[in-house]
Amino acid sequence: MRGTEFLPVSREEMRAREWYYYDFLVVMADAYIDHPSFGSTLIARLLEAEGYRVAVLAQPDWHDCTPFTDMGKPRFGVFIGGGNLDSMVAHYTVAKRRRDKDLYSPGGKMGCRPDRATIVYANRAREAFGSGTPIIIGGLEASLRRFAHYDYWDDKVRRPILFDAPADLLVYGMGETATKEIARRLSKKVPVEDITDVRGTAFLSQNAEKCIYRPVTVPSYESVLEDKKAYALATKLQYDENDPIRGCGVVQPCQGRFLIVNPPQRPLPREELDRLYDLPFVREVHPMYKEPVPAIEEVRFSIAHNRGCFGGCNFCALTFHQGRMVTSRSIESVLREAEILTKDPQFKGYIHDVGGPTANFRHASCPGQKKHGCCKNRSCLAPEPCKNLDADHSEYTELLRRLRALPGVKKVFVRSGIRYDYMLQDKNQEFFKELVDYHISGQLKVAPEHCVASVLDYMGKPHFDVFERFWRKYQRLNEADHKEQYLVPYLMSSHPGCTLRDSVRLAEFLHRTGHLPEQVQDFYPTPGTLSTCMYYTGIDPRDMTEVYVARSPHEKALQRALLQWGRKDLRPLVIEALEKAERTDLIGYEEKCLIRPQKGEKYFGKKPEEPPAPQRREQGRGGNFRHKRPENPGQKGKMPQRKKDAFAKKRRGK
């Protein structure tokens, strides 16, 4: 169902509804877009569906508490969401430079929300409403910062966020179930300090015995601040217990009090997930904004069909936020949303994405996961797929087929990340073929990230031979259908465990395959990931072994430059990197060389005689992977006619 009415954003709009009180205030760090892709909007609509009067305060001026007091005091409490991105990630690049745009704000303008938005908004709400109003924080920012955590921007370990945000409760993960239960109890006048047993929540206590679940105590804030081994151990324990079936409560002492984190909530069952996405979202930006909010365009004609990810990438925060247990919407629910899209006047027949954290996951990774939870110390996919892995794309294939058949739909794209290693484990290759035939807009994006096995092990990714098998199969399918479609690989530099020599090996592979990336992602140490723990401590928390870490901006620049060796502006960095890696054999005239010497350089010399270069893969548009088309034997050794015509035309012009 498509709604026609936004939630009230001011006291005037509440009066227009003849509301002279309201129950909950939902504070958003993003602009108010009434669409299910935005977590705070989902929570607001869920509370409304439970029968509560809900008002929205989106990106309020945080310099004083006036915007909060202007809304009036809610009867039951305030829910605060830090936005679809951590506010520091939204504001700063990996080089810690201020970004030019905030896609979640009107006009893409920066400055519509503060750094560390959850903490700032919680303080303003407490100033406005006093200690008698319950404040609950949630969303990605709060979820990933629930424990003592390394903060890349401050370059130090910060306390659990509840010590800085004066809130009564923290909801972590996908918070619908916990939010409903908290709202129900608050509406029954249960004191917020007595709500200590809800799964998927965290709170502060003077007494560790307040944890009613079997507790696991992790090293204290003071310990992880002083001892990096203690930090790594704490991270491992936190990940071990982040399971809704076998997980325990986690207790972390901090400055005379205790952070108590209850075990995670179970994922929403399919029926409840369907009900959530059937709520009456307007699917538009609120009309109070005079400028468009760019973020809507990314999701306006996209559909999220799943949650959770058992991919296990160590640099990704999804494991710690959404969890490893995958759940998905029914085909009928997704079709209902697609039919809503087809009735939008702006719809041109193209569904831009049917995805989620990982597009091709629809169910738990194995049958035993639902009963016993996810395995400790074991990834479902890397470095080798688990023997119990249930790799089945049949339901996802059926979903895409039925979407393609809807009246008004011309094309259905899959643009979210896919796990190609999971695809290769499926004995039925129908999905792979249909993906190539119907669901690619000229480019398929995948994430091999690197080619060196040791680096991939630190990343939690499959080894590179898996990507090469996928690549060959992808090429064969395209050639069989006479399609010219590209593969766009995401690559990462400077991940913990990656040395200059490892980066050289990746550059050699890219050079050999005729690929020159336009963009390379530097590793970004975001809160709450295993890779961030490695970056800060130099320790792999999974086995407590030492890890090499490139920390200095200059070394990061050297690694990144190696992967973009063809850029003239990066030439000095590439030469320096090759010298430091003792690989100056790659500066020269041979086919294997990354760069040619220039006059005045010490490597400059006479070009040696070279044998004819072997046929190699050609660089496609934008540096993407493609096969070189076979040469026409009739034209071998001759100038093509089109080139002759071009030269003749040029001469006539002169």
Pinpoint the alpha helices (H) of 100-138.
117-129
User: In degrees rounded to 5, what are phi and psi of residue 77?
Assistant: 165, 180
**Contact in structure between 50 and 180 (CB atoms under 8 Å):** yes
User: In degrees rounded to 5, what are phi and psi of residue 209?
Assistant: -75, -5
Q: Which residue do the tokens 């069952």 mark?
A: 269
Give the total residue count for the chain: 654
**Contact in structure between 558 and 538 (CB atoms under 8 Å):** no
Type of residue found at 255 = Q
316 is in an annotated binding site: yes
Four-point Cα dihedral 61, 63, 64, 67, nearest 10:
0
Q: Please name which of 53, 50, 44, 45 lies closest in space to residue 20, comparing C-alpha atoms.
A: 53
* Residues 6 or more apart in contact with residue 54 via CB below 8 angstroms: 7, 22, 23, 24, 25, 26, 44, 47, 48
Q: What is the largest CA-CA distance in the chain?
A: 91
Q: Please name which of 568, 613, 609, 562 lies closest in space to residue 591, comparing C-alpha atoms.
A: 613
**Residue 8's Cα: distance from chain center in Å?**
30
b/e burial code for range 137-170 (CB count within 10 A of at least 16 → b) = bbbbbbbbbbbbbbbbbeeebbbbbbbbbebbbb
Report cis status (omega within 30 of 0) of the bond before 383: yes
Structure tokens at 101: 């745009």
Distances in whole angstroms, Cα of residue 429 to Cα of each of 246, 432, 435: 34, 5, 10
Residues annotated within a binding site for [4Fe-4S] cluster: 309, 313, 316
Residues annotated within a binding site: 309, 313, 316
